[in-house]
Amino acid sequence: MSQAAPSFQTPNPEPTIPGWTGNSITQKQCDTRKQVFNKEIYPFNKFGGIASMAADMTSFPNVAEIVELILLCLDHETVVRATGVCKFWKNCVAGSKPLMQKIYKLPGTIYGDENLPFKELTKAARDATVPQFEYQGRNIWNLVRDIEDTFLDSIHDVSTEELEKCSSLDQDNDEETASYKFYKLRACFMGIRYPNGWPAELQELHCDLCDQWHTDFKYENLHPLFRFLGDVTCCFRGNSKHLVFAISIVSTQLAPASCWEHSREEALHFAKGLATAYKAVQAGGTAKDFWLSPPATKLVTSGCCIEDNTGLKLEAVLFFIFRMFRGHLLLWRNHCHEFETKEVQRSRRTVRDTAAAFPTTKDWDNHMANYSTIRCIWETAVGEVDEILIDVPYWKPVLAEENKELTWDVYQV
């Protein structure tokens, strides 16, 4: 009796895929590939990779880095909106410290250039040197930054006495004060200015409004509620963290009536801008916004200083500018009154300006005869400003103040 041939069939074989004609593949291998396809390939094909990368960002680390770099180049509002595009973008923002600082407007974000709020200097201006006298040969930009940065760092809630010392040359001409150093720096440029202005390399550095050395401020970096400042005669100087704000209502009482009329229009525009900003803050949602990007931590003007190490907020800066604006209106109203009612002090600058604006005695007499009209222009402007800001609780009408000798305390209203 013959024996049956031995069976060589593998016990418990893996089932094969029905209809598969190529290389053999088991059901287990198929399931594995199917899982990979469902998790990574199919979502990528269908949604551009969003679903798979959102589930596991480590699958595409380079893409996440690229997205981060792109988002860092965008403004705050766009970055906030980007977090709602998809889970992957939201995770990119959440996993990036620079983006989190940007989205929550936190100070300390690495912006690189310390002069970021200001326009970039050309090479000629950056390399310009002091032409003569005490600072001869020194780099103008580095010298100015050293003097001003040191001065701004030293100011913390300045008292009236300290401010007068730092801002006046009538004390003891202390060579350590920033004011005296800038005085010596200006002396180094005597005779350098041409009839048609400064040499090309110095035009970028000098501000005719405040008679200081600084570059042009980028007003587009201000909060939208403050961008009206770009339309008035004012300037900012300093660095990305500490700034000085200066406003010029009118340069001198010797100016003709047309200059005062222009200043009247600017004062009204300034008041309307402040009123609009105040209403927006009261409506809610903007009070804690930063007033500048990148956020500055200190703002200084003639008689006031405000600072916040976490970055100055819109509401605080708005109140600060209200105080500054009212103080300037009071001072100039008082100066106009004194100029008309008291004998004009014949300082060297007054004599020089008088000779330039009024070459003959008749010209001077005509100006003084018409000065009451000029005063009326300014008094009318002040009254109109009071009407515009009448609904602001912390605005005290300027016309209600009696004309009197004013001190630095005028800013502390």
Model confidence at 205, in pLDDT bands (50, 70, 90)? confident
Given a cut of 80, whether residue 84 has pLDDT beyond it is no
Residue percentage of the chain with pLDDT more than 90: 10
Taking residues 188-206, report their average pLDDT: 75
Who wins on pLDDT, 404 or 213?
A: 213
Q: Which of 208, 234, 257 is the last residue of a domain?
A: 208
The number of domains in the chain is: 3
Give the model's pLDDT for residue 344: 58
Give the model's pLDDT for residue 226: 92
Give the model's pLDDT for residue 274: 94
What is the span of the domain harbouring residue 226?
A: 215-413
Given a cut of 90, whether residue 384 has pLDDT beyond it is yes
Who wins on pLDDT, 104 or 128?
A: 128
pLDDT in tens, 238-254: 888 889 898 877 767 77
Model confidence at 19, in pLDDT bands (50, 70, 90)? very low
Give the model's pLDDT for residue 404: 57
- Comparing 84-98, 139-153, 330-344, 356-370, the range with the smallest average pLDDT is 330-344
3 state SS of 139: strand
231 and 314 assigned to the same domain: yes
Given a cut of 90, whether residue 45 has pLDDT beyond it is no
132 and 74 assigned to the same domain: no
DSSP 203-270: HTTEETTTTEE-PPB-GGGB-GGGGGGGGSSEEEEE-SSEEEEEE-S-S-TTS-HHHHHHHHHHHHHH
Given a cut of 50, whether residue 410 has pLDDT beyond it is no
- Comparing 187-196, 358-367, 389-398, the range with the smallest average pLDDT is 187-196
Give the model's pLDDT for residue 170: 44
Residue 117 included in any domain: no
Residue 243 included in any domain: yes
204 and 220 assigned to the same domain: no
Q: Which residues contact 226 (CB under 8 A, 6 or more apart)?
A: 273, 277, 291, 292, 314, 317
Taking residues 37-53, report their average pLDDT: 40
Kindly report the average pLDDT of the chain as a whole number.
73
Taking residues 11-23, report their average pLDDT: 43
373 and 256 assigned to the same domain: yes
400 and 346 assigned to the same domain: yes
Distance CA 205, CA 148 (A): 14
Q: Which of 208, 231, 264 is the last residue of a domain?
A: 208
Q: Which of 208, 236, 252 is the last residue of a domain?
A: 208
Model confidence at 66, in pLDDT bands (50, 70, 90)? confident
Top mean pLDDT of 48-57, 93-102, 402-411 is at: 93-102
pLDDT in tens, 267-304: 999 999 999 999 999 988 888 888 988 888 889 886 67
246 and 385 assigned to the same domain: yes
153 and 90 assigned to the same domain: no
Residue 32 included in any domain: yes
Residue 293 included in any domain: yes
Residue 207, token pair as written in the block: 């501000």
- Comparing 324-333, 368-377, 403-412, the range with the smallest average pLDDT is 403-412
381 and 267 assigned to the same domain: yes
Give the model's pLDDT for residue 351: 64
- φ, ψ of residue 213 in degrees (nearest 5): -105, 110
Residue 1 included in any domain: no
3 state SS of 310: coil
Give the model's pLDDT for residue 268: 93
330 and 399 assigned to the same domain: yes
Residue 116 included in any domain: no
Taking residues 309-329, report their average pLDDT: 89
260 and 406 assigned to the same domain: yes
Residue 202, H or E segment: helix 200-203
Given a cut of 90, whether residue 141 has pLDDT beyond it is no
Give the model's pLDDT for residue 153: 75
Give the model's pLDDT for residue 214: 83
Give the model's pLDDT for residue 7: 43
202 and 53 assigned to the same domain: no
Distance CA 191, CA 189 (A): 6
Residue 18 included in any domain: no
Residue 3 included in any domain: no
Give the model's pLDDT for residue 176: 62
Which residue's entry shows tokens 């809630």?
Answer: 157
305 and 246 assigned to the same domain: yes
Residue 196, token pair as written in the block: 């048609």
